[in-house]
């Protein structure tokens, strides 16, 4: 199966990227090429190195590269940029004359000069039909008026942000991402519109860069207002430094201290699990004591050893063997009778048996 060579091309600085069929051209990032688009021929810049794909994975309505830009093509692009400035100034004059509530941002000539596109911003809808007639009579070409948002305006105009660097949208940010106040809160920023808003008047695009990182690092830190039991007593968390992984504590006496999360966890573990006293080790026995103890153990009578009868020991006296206890002169042993306990008679007299008739 034959493979297709796709190449990524952008028509403006930090603009959207489009894929084209590279044909048999040997291209590299930074090359200028002429391509066929839906609105005509245009001059673009190669952004990524060509890659091969199968035809079934190719995007629909794939356009092809016509040729690599020559010197005359680059000269035509420069002349078009000069004509764009003249067209923008003329259009601004007509807007002022008609008192139209719109702000012109930029004028763009197509590569072949067949159309001029005017970009503008406005709060609502604007009726610019009379303006288009004036522009068409003056330039003798097709005119298109396109309304854009304030972010697109900042992207096309450019400038410096509050950080002192070039705007991200006009430098490298090709697509806008949604930004919310929640991102500023998660990063501990002051909710001051002048501090968290960009040149366009919307929230800074850079708020979304570190939002996920802050959420991951916040999981390891306790929340503000939580009370902890430390060795020095009860302490309350009043602030957190997420990037430094530190917390500020307020102790019982009113003092404040800053502690790293690892040190804080160590303090908490000491309070929850205090160190137990280690049991004393038994003293080591000397060899002689061990031998004596083992000898005594051997001399001890076992369970199977015969024990003398206590009755025989009681019958012996110090002078010798005495006369056996419980025997008379004839040598016959007196029998020991067990005295029986008399039965108790009931107080009630037994009734005589009834005569049966």
Q: Same structural domain for residues 179 and 196?
A: yes
**Is 323 inside any structural domain?**
no
Q: Same structural domain for residues 115 and 160?
A: no
Phi-psi region of 164 (alpha: psi -120 to 50; beta: other; left: phi over 0): left
Mean local confidence (pLDDT), 35-61: 83
**Domain end call among 42, 69, 96:** 69
Q: How many alpha carbons lie under 13 Å from residue 23 in its C-beta half-sphere?
A: 10
Q: Same structural domain for residues 175 and 236?
A: no
**Is 234 inside any structural domain?**
yes
pLDDT tops 60 at residue 157: yes
Q: What percent of the chain has pLDDT over 90?
A: 14
Q: Same structural domain for residues 117 and 130?
A: yes
Output the six-digit token pair for 177: 């991402």
Q: Same structural domain for residues 116 and 160?
A: no
Question: Residue 240: its pLDDT value, please?
Answer: 87
Cα 85 from Cα 110, distance rounded (Å): 14
Q: Same structural domain for residues 224 and 213?
A: no
Q: Give the tens place of pLDDT for each residue, 98-140.
A: 888 889 999 998 888 888 999 999 988 888 888 999 999 998 8
The domain that contains 225 carries what CATH number? 2.30.30.140
**Is 126 inside any structural domain?**
yes
Output the six-digit token pair for 335: 């029998």
Task: Report how far apart the first and last C-alpha atoms of the chain are (Å, whole number).
Answer: 132
**Is 347 inside any structural domain?**
no
**Domain end call among 272, 297, 312:** 272
Question: CA angle 15-19-25, nearest 5°?
Answer: 115
Which residues touch 36 (CB under 8 Å, ≥6 apart)?
63, 64, 66
Give how many domains the chain has, as a whole number. Answer: 4
If we measure between CA atoms, which residue out of 163, 169, 165 comes closest to residue 151? Answer: 169
Question: CA angle 85-14-197, nearest 5°?
Answer: 90
The alpha carbon of residue 174 and the mean position of all alpha carbons in its chain are separated, in whole angstroms, by 26
Q: Same structural domain for residues 144 and 83?
A: yes
Cα 161 from Cα 163, distance rounded (Å): 5
Identify the domain containing residue 55 by its residue range. 4-69
**Is 342 inside any structural domain?**
no
| E strand segments, the chain | 4-10, 17-21, 32-37, 40-46, 51-53, 65-68, 103-109, 115-121, 142-147, 227-230, 233-241, 246-250, 256-260
The domain that contains 110 carries what CATH number? 3.30.300
Q: Same structural domain for residues 200 and 211?
A: yes
Q: Which of 45-59, 167-181, 255-269, 271-285 bottoms out in mean pLDDT, i.e. has the lowest? A: 271-285
**Is 289 inside any structural domain?**
no
Q: Same structural domain for residues 136 and 191?
A: no
Q: Same structural domain for residues 85 and 125?
A: yes
Q: Same structural domain for residues 64 and 79?
A: no
**Domain end call among 116, 148, 180:** 148
If we measure between CA atoms, which residue out of 143, 103, 95 comes closest to residue 123? Answer: 103
**Is 31 inside any structural domain?**
yes
- The pTM is what? 0.63
Output the six-digit token pair for 206: 């850079």
Q: Give the tens place of pLDDT for each residue, 258-317.
A: 889 888 888 888 777 776 655 555 555 555 565 566 655 555 555 444 454 544 444 444
**Is 61 inside any structural domain?**
yes
């Amino acid at each position: 199966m034959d493979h297709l060579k796709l190449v990524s091309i952008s028509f403006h600085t930090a603009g959207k990227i489009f894929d084209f069929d590279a044909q048999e051209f040997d291209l590299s990032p930074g090359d200028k090429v002429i391509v066929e688009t839906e609105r005509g021929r245009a001059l673009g810049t190669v952004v990524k190195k060509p890659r091969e794909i199968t035809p079934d994975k190719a995007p629909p309505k794939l356009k092809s590269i016509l040729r690599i830009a020559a010197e005359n093509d680059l000269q035509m692009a420069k002349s078009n940029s000069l004509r764009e400035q003249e067209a923008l100034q003329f259009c601004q004059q007509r807007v002022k004359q008609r008192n139209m509530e719109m702000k012109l941002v930029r004028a763009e000539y197509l590569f072949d000069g067949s159309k001029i596109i005017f970009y503008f911003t406005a709060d609502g809808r604007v009726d610019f039909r009379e303006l288009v007639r004036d522009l068409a009579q003056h330039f003798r070409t097709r005119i298109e008026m396109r309304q854009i948002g304030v972010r697109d305006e900042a992207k096309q105009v450019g400038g410096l942000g509050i950080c002192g660097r070039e705007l991200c949208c006009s430098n490298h940010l090709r697509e806008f991402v949604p930004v919310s106040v929640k991102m500023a809160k998660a990063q501990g920023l002051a909710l001051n519109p002048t501090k968290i808003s960009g040149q366009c008047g919307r929230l800074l695009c850079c708020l979304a860069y570190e939002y996920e990182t802050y959420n991951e690092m916040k999981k390891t830190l306790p929340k503000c207002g939580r009370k902890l039991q430390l060795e020095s007593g009860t302490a309350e968390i009043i602030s957190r430094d997420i990037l430094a992984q530190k917390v500020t504590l307020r102790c019982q006496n009113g003092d404040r201290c800053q502690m790293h999360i690892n040190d804080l966890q160590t303090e908490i573990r000491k309070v929850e699990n205090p160190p137990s006293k280690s049991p004393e080790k038994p003293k080591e026995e000397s060899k002689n004591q061990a031998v004596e103890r083992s000898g005594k153990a051997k001399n001890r009578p076992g369970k199977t050893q015969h024990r003398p009868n206590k009755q025989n020991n009681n019958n012996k006296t110090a002078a010798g063997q005495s006369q056996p206890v419980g025997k008379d002169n004839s040598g016959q042993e007196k029998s020991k009778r067990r005295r029986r306990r008399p039965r108790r008679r009931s107080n009630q007299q037994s009734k005589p048996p009834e005569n049966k008739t």
